[in-house]
Amino acid sequence: MTHGFDWPALMRAGMQGLGLAPDVFWRLTPAELRLMLGQGGETAPLTRAGFDALLAAWPDHPKGDGDE
């Protein structure tokens, strides 16, 4: 059994069900498509601790760039 995407079903849902043009469909992220199909939003909001972890992992300025 494969755990990949069911592309034919996703394409039908996006292009026929939602009326998206193919180029719009292919620019969407999987999360955006899920949200448009009413399947997103179950994720808990970002907490301060989660935000701080993101800042540590992806700072606005790399360490040692002289702006510290």
- pLDDT tens digit string along 4-20? 888 899 999 999 999 99
pLDDT at 66: 59
The encoded tokens of residue 14 equal 């996006």
pLDDT in tens, 25-58: 999 998 888 889 888 666 778 899 999 998 999 8
In a domain, 37, yes or no: yes
In a domain, 47, yes or no: yes
Nearest to 20 by CA among 38, 41, 36: 36
C-beta separation of 33 from 10 below 8 A:
yes
- Domain of 28 in residue numbering reads as 7-57
In a domain, 24, yes or no: yes
Q: How far is CA 9 from CA 13, 40, 45, in A?
A: 6, 17, 29
Instruction: Count the domains in the chain.
Output: 1
In a domain, 63, yes or no: no
In a domain, 1, yes or no: no
In a domain, 17, yes or no: yes
In a domain, 44, yes or no: yes
pLDDT at 46: 83
In a domain, 34, yes or no: yes
